Chains A and B, each alone.
Chain A
Amino acid sequence: MLGLLSAFVEELRQVGVPVSMVESIDAMNAVQHIDLADRTSLKETLRATLVKNARHEGAFDTAFEVFFAARRPHLETTDPAEPESAGRSDEAGRQGSGGGMDLDELIEALYEAMRNQDFSALRSAAQQAVDDLAGIEPGRPVGGTYYLYRTLRQLDIDALTDRLIEAMLQQEGELDELTRRLVTEEAGLRIERLREEIKEEIRRRLVEDRGHEAVARTLRQPLVEEVDLMHATRTDLRNLEQVIEPLTRKLAARLAQRRRLASRGRLDFRKTMRSSLATGGVPIDPKFRHVRPHRPELFLLCDISGSMATFARFTLQFTYAMGTQFSKQRAFVFVDAVDEVTDHLKPGIDFKDALVRITTEADVVWLDGHSDYGHALEQFSVKYGREITPRSTVIIAGDARNNYRDARERYLAEIAENCQALYWLNPEPKAYWDSGDSVMSRYARFCDEVFEVRNLRQLETFVERVATQPRRATRRRRYSSTTRESLPMTR
């Protein structure tokens, strides 16, 4: 047990869940007090002692399934060594557990189990399904997604869902739209349950085949904060949407707090003297002036061409969620032409609707709908350049892939000259900058800094940085040596 536990802790650390020494000792202490045969009890015990962040629970669940999956009570039927005893004939009488069913019978069994919410029947039918349909090939180093897909396809899961909904609607009696909606959702959950059962069963087989450490390795997934924004899958996007709101809330709270702490300014001599009258002229309690916090004005320019869309979307959403941190925000989007979308993003709007409107209404295509940074910058500089003041912070989000067109850096230089700070966010890994049609370094020399922002964590760090940047008293030096050194000048 001790060895298994430490391997489990090691796996958690591998996927990025921070588990300290003390916590793993706690876990080992805790398991001595519980009934180890009770899997739920073990799971909750380990969870309470090892995982201290709700965001990491998904990673924990996966690791737990892999490490503690091997011994399950329903295995009797697949074990050939077991004698044909009374246990077997009992089993055969039960719905969906005996072997030798053909596909139609199997589907029927699954359907009945879901309709009656008989979860133990569902489990054994799911095992049967994996036996018959998954076609697991021993030794292949895979995570099992394909086996899951193959099993579900042969079960014809869509038809099954429709049948289930139909049957559940019939049980309901009177039908209004609300009931219909609720029933559809309920059916969806039961199908989801089936999917989970099958997935778990496949994982269990994989673990039996290759051992838990090997399987865990193939299943490793980055935590949601570290998912690459440019290559996020649909599931990733859903998860990202869920964390972005709490993340911004936390960041806003942190910034507000820091501001309050930093708001104590120079000694206020008059106030101190006045209050010293109460203590007989001795200035016991010095008073300080309040510093009015500096809230930058934000100009956000996002490339929304095909490959950049996801990234632009999260950048917009993240900065807008931080609205209170900036005195004014204006948003612009471009592909090869620029359009202002500030009005689409008024406070209180629904962000999803706004995004749809932006993509359909904004006038961002000039020639052919391929990114043209040069033209977009020129247009921006001409149309809105005058509105940029030394209070403005300009942020450009894009990969600087210019499709081999004219970069026209002079317009960026103009913008840089007038604003307080100019930042560039690039969602590509640093190593790819300046490769192919990327002209990052030609723009970089005018930026105060260029950030690699590939995931939410980097985006968060960046926004925190901008919201707390100190106000510059004097004009800044352009083309300072540090800026140039931060990027290799290749052209």
Chain B
Amino acid sequence: MDSVLSSPQGVADALRSVDYLADDRIAQVAFLAHTLGKPILVEGPAGVGKTELAKSLAKVTGRRLIRLQCYEGLDESRALYEWNYKKQLLRIQADQDHDWTEIEGDIFSEDFLLARPLLEAIRSTEPVVLLIDEIDRVEMETEALLLEVLSDFQVSIPELGTVSATTRPMVLLTSNNTRELSEALKRRCLFLHIAYPSPEREAEILRARVPGLADHLAQEIARVARSIRQMDLKKAPSVSETIDWAMTLLALGIDHIDREVIGDTMHVLLKYQNDIERAMKELSD
């Protein structure tokens, strides 16, 4: 199934078949990531389809998606692996007459290892897609944990030795850019910045994601969204919010957007009262 990744055009076509509309840049980087075997660091405003890209890539390659959701305070035992110490205790108690060295060798074996997402992705016999979501949420120090996995695709476990990947996972990291990531991490990745799509592409996305949406309405929605994004707002509407908006309009049976319609449904698109007021003011000027 990886054959779809053998050319940028192939990537774009395959992604399109699962309703993810990739532009040149996305297709090119996905192709490179596969060819060079490097992770992709995906950055961009919230809701432009960063996580979706990983899911879609998993879908088109038929690979399993392993996801590591990052949060503050994430540590080794949640990201890499942990010894199942309850099971280890039971094992020790179960045969107390045995020689200790024997038991020791036994309880530090793979049977007693709880694999967390990173190790799981490395150990998998089938190629997988590994998604490390919102990497900017973990502390700088925890980031370092990932370096070995990202550059050498291996995990070192002191008691067991080094576990290397038998198949190379496709790795995507997403970041909402709330902090600067370390140079070491960036160096190991290909960088992909996803911006808001052009109105043409957004209309296409809307048509693909909202069945039953009329062509002209999709275009109007995309144009209004672009217009609103140019305003100086606290939080500009994301693609997922325009999709929600399109669904709302469809459910309300609206066929043409005017100011009144926008006024009534603006809260789907914008989430701050200040933003709504400002957008309404600018649109009515």
A250 touches B192 (CB 8 A): no
Q: With contacts A40-B24, A48-B192, A250-B179 known, is A33 near B36, CB below 8 A?
A: yes
Chain A residues whose C-beta falls within 8 Å of the C-beta of B227 in the assembled complex: 181-182, 185
* Interface hits, A355-370 → B, CB 8 Å: none
- Nearest to B272 among chain A residues (CB) is A348
Interface centre among B32, B44, B262, B274 (most CB of A within 10 A): B32
B226 touches A (CB below 8 Å): yes
A29 touches B36 (CB 8 A): yes
Which of B32, B178, B192, B278 contacts A253, CB < 8 Å?
A: B178
B274 touches A350 (CB 8 A): yes
B87 touches A (CB below 8 Å): no
Which of A26, A57, A182 contacts B36, CB < 8 Å?
A: A26
A176 to B257 alpha-carbon distance, docked (Å): 10
A104 to B20 alpha-carbon distance, docked (Å): 45
Chain A residues whose C-beta falls within 8 Å of the C-beta of B278 in the assembled complex: 350
B28 touches A (CB below 8 Å): yes
Interface centre among A52, A177, A186, A254 (most CB of B within 10 A): A52
Q: With contacts A33-B36, A54-B43 known, is A44 near B177, CB below 8 A?
A: no
Chain A residues whose C-beta falls within 8 Å of the C-beta of B190 in the assembled complex: 26, 48-49
* Interface hits, B204-240 → A, CB 8 Å: 223-224, 226-227, 230, 232
Interface size in chain A (residues, C-beta < 8 A)? 38
B223 touches A186 (CB 8 A): yes
* Interface hits, A412-441 → B, CB 8 Å: none
Which of A30, A44, A181, A250 contacts B178, CB < 8 Å?
A: A250
Contact with B along A34-49 (1 / 0, CB 8 A): 1000001100110111
Contact with A along B29-49 (1 / 0, CB 8 A): 100100110101101100000
B91 touches A (CB below 8 Å): no
A44 touches B191 (CB 8 A): no
A131 to B178 alpha-carbon distance, docked (Å): 47
A45 touches B32 (CB 8 A): yes
Contact with A along B185-205 (1 / 0, CB 8 A): 011011111000000000000
Chain A residues whose C-beta falls within 8 Å of the C-beta of B226 in the assembled complex: 185
Which of B28, B40, B189 contacts A45, CB < 8 Å?
A: B28
CB distance from B285 to the nearest CB of A (A): 8
Chain A residues whose C-beta falls within 8 Å of the C-beta of B224 in the assembled complex: 178, 182
- Interface size on B, as a range, is 35 or more
* Interface hits, A234-256 → B, CB 8 Å: 241, 246, 249-250, 253-254
Q: With contacts A52-B41, A178-B259, A257-B139 known, is A246 near B32, CB below 8 A?
A: no
Chain A residues whose C-beta falls within 8 Å of the C-beta of B183 in the assembled complex: 18, 20
- Nearest to B226 among chain A residues (CB) is A185
B191 touches A30 (CB 8 A): no
- Nearest to A42 among chain B residues (CB) is B28
Which of B25, B38, B193 contacts A54, CB < 8 Å?
A: B193
Which of A18, A48, A352 contacts B29, CB < 8 Å?
A: A48
A44 touches B28 (CB 8 A): yes
Q: With contacts A23-B187, A41-B8, A51-B191 known, is A177 near B284, CB below 8 A?
A: yes
A348 touches B191 (CB 8 A): no
A22 touches B (CB below 8 Å): yes
Chain A residues whose C-beta falls within 8 Å of the C-beta of B193 in the assembled complex: 54, 57
A178 touches B283 (CB 8 A): yes
Q: With contacts A33-B35, A33-B36, A249-B178 known, is A44 near B274, CB below 8 A?
A: no
Interface residues of A (CB under 8 A from B): 18, 20, 22-23, 26, 29-30, 33-34, 40-41, 44-45, 47-49, 51-54, 57, 176-178, 181-182, 185-186, 241, 246, 249-250, 253-254, 257, 348, 350, 352
Question: Could you pull out 16 A-B pairs where Cβ atoms are within 8 angstroms?
Answer: A22-B187, A26-B38, A33-B32, A33-B35, A40-B24, A41-B8, A44-B28, A52-B186, A54-B193, A177-B283, A178-B283, A185-B227, A186-B223, A249-B178, A253-B178, A350-B278
